[in-house]
Chains A and B, each alone.
Chain A
Amino acid sequence: MAAEDNKSAPPEGEKLAPPPAKAVASPSIVSPYFYRPSRRELLTRLGAAAAVLGGSAALGRFVWDKGGFGASQAGGTRQVRDYTLKGTTADFAELAIARAKADETPSAEVLVGRALAAMGGMKRFISRGDIVVVKPNIGWDRMPIHAANTNPDVVAAVVQQAFEAGAKRVVVADGSCNEPDRCFQRSGIWKAAYAKGADIVLPAEHRYRTTRIKGEVLDEWPIFTTLVDADKVINVPVAKHHNLAKYTAAMKNWYGVLGGRRNRLHQNIDTSIADLATFMRPTLVVVDAMRVLMRNGPQGGNIDDTKVMNTVFATVDQVAADAFGCTLIGQKPENMPYLKMGHERNLGTMNWQSLRVREV
């Protein structure tokens, strides 16, 4: 062998050259485990590799995050949920105050009826087949006697009026501060509203959606969708003292729309309230002042802090509602910054006397 090799010794360079194809193809030399892939297999394998590479590149490009703080921020305009009645006709009261007369047994149902009648009746506000949301204050684990939540009889009367006016469905909901089940049950509103046929919706987590309110201080917040998915919204707050905001009823009642950590709102409570009232514009406001918490609000807890007033007042102007309401606990509208803001934003008027006021 060696002699043969010497005889036909090729130059050094040629030794490195690949063996001729014929030798490789020869079955007698090459093991069956070494073979050239067929053209078909070659193309398939190359194609698969190329497809995976191309696919990952395309996917990467598609979901590419360029990073940076501004990436997730989007523009947007101020959102408004406007349920107000358009084209008001004259003659009806703009603020109707129903007070129990000295010779009658005070009844929330009668007072609500009188106030609404002076406003032109519930039929003026609700069309047949409407889905109506009634938003009472069910914020606290307190009983009706503590006057921290809306009086259940007032809520029931409003629900009944809404049904009588032709509402298809009446929903009663609120986002409570204390544990919701307990607030809804112990406020008496669950039972009273259920008895009138309303749907009671508790603030479950899945009912909140993040919404851009685009207010002055409230930008993006989780919103209790049940309260805004409606044809008509009736605000049924309770008038009471508030240690920070001084007085709370109609405008601050929209705190119940927000989810998330609303404890931060207190740092600028007046602007927050104005922002919320800008976002939510109800069809009608019916304020419960049957029993009013005069001190230690908004939660109360002591019956001695409450005062029986046997009053219900209705209006379409939520700023005027609070401007009048705060006089019940001895406050002046001028001292209430959020009323000023609401007035300046044209949400209503803080000069409630300038409206057509009717006492019934």
Chain B
Amino acid sequence: MANVPQRAPSVSPSRKNSLEAAKKAASAGVLLDVARVESAPMDVHADPIPWKGKVGAVLALDGPGATHSAPAPVARAPAAPAKGCGTGACDCKTTAAPARKDAEQMQKRTRSRLAELAGILGIGTPRDAATAAAVSRDAGVPGAASKKPAKLDPSRPGSGIPARPIIRFLVWARRVSQAGFFGLFMFFLFQTGFRGNFAANADTAVRLPYPVEAFLLADPFVSAMTVLSTHTVYRGLLWSVGLLALTLVFGRVFCGWICPFGTLHHFFGWILPSRRGRGGSRVEANKTHTYQRVKYYLMYAFILASVAGSAIGGLFDPICIAVRAIGLGVIPAVQYAGGRGLALVQDVPARPVQQAADGTQDFLATTVWQSHQFYFHQTWFILFLLVAVLFANRFIPRFWCRVLCPLGAFLGMFSRFALFGMEKDHAKCTDCNLCIVNCQGADSPQGGVKWRQDECHMCMNCESACPEDVIKFRFLPNRKSTVTRPDTQRRTLLATAAAGAAFIPAVRIADSLDVNYHAKVIRPPGAVEERAFLERCIRCAECMKVCPNNALHPAMFEAGIEGLWTPILIARIGYCEHSCVLCGQVCPTGAIQKITEKEKLGLGVPPVKIGTAFYDHGRCLPWSMQTPCIVCEEFCPTSPKAIWVEEVEAPMRDSKPGPAGEQPGMHQVKLQRPHVDPSLCIGCGACEKVCPVQDQPAVYITSVGESRSKTNVILLENTNYNQKS
């Protein structure tokens, strides 16, 4: 909705409370001044209902004190009490009756008369009707309540109308779906890593058995970013059209039913709510707030950044965050703690205990994590942000989903076309706020205001909770009380989008891409050229999670601020396994291409090089300390080996001085001194990993010579200046 909200309601509702007014309204077909509700600005939605704070509309009509209070927006906060019909608020119906202190009979007569009147007017709740029927039977008033009352649920508050069975089913279906998809997500995460198989032949290609990147392939925000940056849809990303289609039919069901990160926030919003946990403050927290626009601005900024050539929005994509934070942070941390704990148990000098601990370790190593501990470069920061965003649920329930999530915003853009949606019967709303208390998206489900379709997660909690039959989800609903479009402001939107577009050139004039490219930004094998890489890489960390040697790590600032959390290879922690192509297999966007073993090993084609090894002769044992070593040569996986050794005899000094204190003597030793052949070296880093010079290796790899670049080269024959960049 693009119009600027007006601060004052267009019609003053401070009218006199009278039966005539009500009758007039009723004859006009509506009880409420619906026109006023619908023209009300969206951020003044808090209490435009005349009977704010009063429950039991029918009886209130005649009550002396129950006036239609003016819905001044300023009076919002003080008007908040007496919410939550759940406890004893239903008694309002009787306590508000004027004839409360009259004689019993008199009271019953009054009630039945009122109920009758309500029936004529077509207002009032079924419980009123039921009460009236019962009362009039008692009072002997004839002709009252000819209609048979609906079956009511006495455990429900208000009128106690039970939710439709389909809704009750859908709420449970949603819970099952959330648990199922979260479980599936975690299962895929646990499976993101190669585990050997007793059934596989020696020549079976090593591949993962499950499509572990499926959630990312179904992510339309990822698709949109890469489509805008590369103008193509990469392979499996076409699946995201399916999720878009789902949104076009049902709205943001992804957020409420599928998204594993959303489920996590749903859960933490439920167990961490103490600050805004109960009653009025929870209602206040769950009302639609203007800060919910932030996610749209972020989304537009990221979309424009993609147009400018960088899929940096992956930093905020919820699936990427979930994979990154859980895969690189939570799982290794739990493994670390669990491993230490079980190691203590293993020291218990009792055979069965040790075997149980061993068995547990084996089970965990083959199902949840790997057989050795994984470490990730600067992962504390990723983990800290996860904890922070989860903790934010304490202040704003589902803070992430409502305020920041660009995928939610993206789906919110498209939910305006959804065929499924909500209709409200404002007239029946008693303002009990049960819908808001249970609301996930802060999308104004309550009566008297318009439903915000773009914010709704389709969790169905509101209709399930509503005891007054106000809310109805259905196909092709009327949109009288629906706002379908995001409530963004044009100028802010333009400004943030422009900022997103401007960010990319702004960071690229810093020296990280065109000039002074970092020697340690070693990209995974099969990675495309750096600019194309930044167009595609969404920082989902799938490649880092799957890497069997713990070689790939999230970059901090090595690749510039734009390259935050893009994958780099840190050979000192792990080297690139020669025959492994798993990182390309799981990459959802083609930043790392799906290369085959033949391409990587260079069988019939030039091998994929990710860098080149160099010797630091001052630290190398055979070169400077006349000590045999050549572990690097042993581990060099290419054939013929890129590391070759030169047989030399070199003088070595004895360690001890002579008997008379003279200079130590010299003797000749036979040595093998290693050299690198840069035309054969693929930069896998195995030599750097195994170099026994522990702290700073005597052989190390840098990115130069990587086959994806035509400029970052050493050898003349690899240079092709006809190619761009």
Contacts and interface: CB of A to CB of B under 8 A. Distances in A.
User: Does B bind A?
Assistant: yes
Interface of A: 141, 143-144, 152, 177-182, 184-188, 190-191, 194, 200, 202-207, 242-244, 261, 263-264, 266-269, 296, 298-302, 305
B343 interface: yes
B631 interface: yes
B692 A296 contact: no
A179 B549 CA distance: 7
Most chain B Cβ neighbours within 10 Å, of A152, A206, A266: A206
Given A179-B194, A179-B549, 10 more contacts: A143-B203, A181-B194, A188-B201, A188-B202, A191-B198, A202-B371, A204-B362, A243-B633, A266-B628, A266-B692
A191 B199 contact: yes
Contacts of B69: none
B200 to A, nearest CB: 5
B635 A299 contact: yes
B640 A181 contact: no
B529 interface: no
Contacts of B577: 141, 178-179, 182
Nearest to A206: B361
B631 to A, nearest CB: 4
A300 B631 CA distance: 14
A341 B139 CA distance: 114
Given A184-B196, A204-B365, A261-B694, A179 B633 contact: no
Interface residues of B, number: 51
A206 B198 contact: no
Contact of B629 (A205, A267, A301, A305): A267
Interface string B164-199: 000000000000000000000000000000111111
Nearest to A143: B202
Contact of A182 (B194, B628, B640, B645): B194
Contact of B637 (A144, A180, A243, A301): A301
Interface in B626-663: 627-631, 633-641, 645
23 contacts: A141-B577, A141-B579, A180-B371, A181-B371, A182-B548, A184-B196, A185-B197, A188-B201, A190-B198, A191-B199, A191-B200, A202-B196, A202-B371, A205-B371, A206-B343, A242-B634, A244-B628, A263-B691, A266-B630, A266-B631, A266-B692, A267-B629, A302-B639
A177 B635 CA distance: 8
Given A266-B630, A266-B631, A185 B200 contact: yes
Contacts of A267: 621, 627-629, 692
Contact of B579 (A186, A191, A264, A298): A186
Contacts of A191: 198-202
A179 B342 CA distance: 24
Contact of B580 (A152, A182, A200, A298): A182
Contact of A186 (B202, B548, B639, B640): B202
B680 to A, nearest CB: 12
A209 to B, nearest CB: 8
B596 interface: no
Contacts of B628: 244, 266-269
B346 interface: yes
B368 to A, nearest CB: 13
Most chain A Cβ neighbours within 10 Å, of B206, B371, B373, B672: B371
Given A261-B692, A299-B634, A266 B629 contact: yes
A253 to B, nearest CB: 15
Contacts of A202: 196, 371
Contacts of A206: 339, 342-343, 346, 357-358, 361, 365
B372 interface: yes
A28 B672 CA distance: 100
Interface of B is mostly: loop
A181 B195 contact: yes
A178 B194 CA distance: 13
A206 B341 CA distance: 11
A221 to B, nearest CB: 14
A302 to B, nearest CB: 4
B722 interface: no
B258 interface: no
Contacts of B634: 242-244, 266, 298-299
A358 B285 CA distance: 88
B205 to A, nearest CB: 10
B202 A152 contact: yes
A185 B209 CA distance: 15
A199 to B, nearest CB: 11
A302 B645 CA distance: 18
For the complex of A and B, the 8 pairs showing the least CB-CB separation, nearest first, are A188-B202, A181-B196, A204-B371, A301-B639, A194-B198, A185-B196, A302-B639, A206-B361
Most chain B Cβ neighbours within 10 Å, of A200, A203, A205, A243: A205
Nearest to B199: A191
B527 interface: no
Contacts of A152: 202
B645 A243 contact: yes
A299 B639 CA distance: 10
B204 A296 contact: no
B578 interface: yes
Contacts of A244: 628, 630, 634, 672
Contacts of A205: 339, 371-373
A266 B674 CA distance: 14
A141 B639 CA distance: 13
Contacts of B343: 206
B58 interface: no
A310 to B, nearest CB: 19
Contacts of B206: 182, 185-186
B152 to A, nearest CB: 60
Contacts of A184: 196
A263 B362 contact: no
